[in-house]
Amino acid sequence: MNAAFALPAVRPGAPPVDFALARQHMLDCQIKPNNIVQPAVLAAIAATPRENYVPADLQDRAYGDRNLIWEDGFLAEPTQCGLLLEHIAAAAPHHVLVVESGAGYVAALAAQIFNQVTVLFPDVGPAKVALNNYAKAGYSNVTVKSGLLQRGWSRGAPYQAVIMAGASATIPDSYAQQLSDGGQLI
């Protein structure tokens, strides 16, 4: 069970949210209690500002223990993001495909853990925002693409892992076809 931690909504005239403190609380109250223990995953989560991957009106809620949904995007709750990477970090794949649903946060974490990350967005708008965030963070190992998510990104295949960073009713066959032998689909 996830430990509950939520930041109060920012009220007019209230002091700004201390995002560094919120990030540390997230690690202590959500991530670590849920058996996310890989040092590379913990370090990436500690270093990555979730508030940069959501619209401004949702930034005060970026570290809460809940999914955030907006018009053209989605950011999974912190524990889910950590667990996606926890499962494959020990295998240390070098080349991963992250299928994003609008935020780019999971790919930002992956960029700090794996050698080469290709991230696929459903639309050019979120891809541009994420590309800007990755450039500001200095991630030179991320390739950003946009297109139909169900097709994956065959031009970069094979991948040692494909990470689905959003909900899907089915898993497209194309993802498995783009995996290398022994690759993992998360």
Question: Mean pLDDT, 10 residues at a time, over the chain (186 residues)?
Answer: 45 80 97 96 97 93 94 90 91 91 90 97 90 95 94 96 86 94 93
For 32, counting Cβ atoms within 10 Å of its Cβ (0-12 exposed, 13-18 middle, 19+ buried), the class is: middle
The Cα–Cα gap between 51 and 173 comes to 33
Please tell me the predicted confidence (pLDDT) of residue 63: 97
Give Rg (Cα) of the chain: 16
**Domains of the chain, start order:** 19-185 (3.40.50.150)
The Cα–Cα gap between 139 and 150 comes to 26
Please tell me the predicted confidence (pLDDT) of residue 109: 97
Please tell me the predicted confidence (pLDDT) of residue 114: 96
Asked if 63 and 50 count as a contact pair (C-beta separation under 8 A), the reply is yes
Please tell me the predicted confidence (pLDDT) of residue 60: 94
CA-to-CA separations, 135 to 86, 105, 108, 118, in angstroms, rounded:
25, 13, 10, 14
Asked if 3 and 26 count as a contact pair (C-beta separation under 8 A), the reply is no
Please tell me the predicted confidence (pLDDT) of residue 1: 37
φ/ψ (deg, to 5) at 107: -65, -35
Please tell me the predicted confidence (pLDDT) of residue 91: 84
Name every residue whose Cβ is closer than 8 Å to that of residue 106 and which is 6 or more positions away in sequence. Answer: 76, 81, 84, 85, 98, 100, 163, 165
Nearest 5°: the CA angle 42, 30, 135 is 45
Write down the residue that tokens 């209230």 correspond to.
Answer: 14
The Cα–Cα gap between 186 and 164 comes to 6
Q: Is the dihedral of CA 43, 102, 68, 57 positive or negative?
A: positive
The Cα–Cα gap between 42 and 82 comes to 8
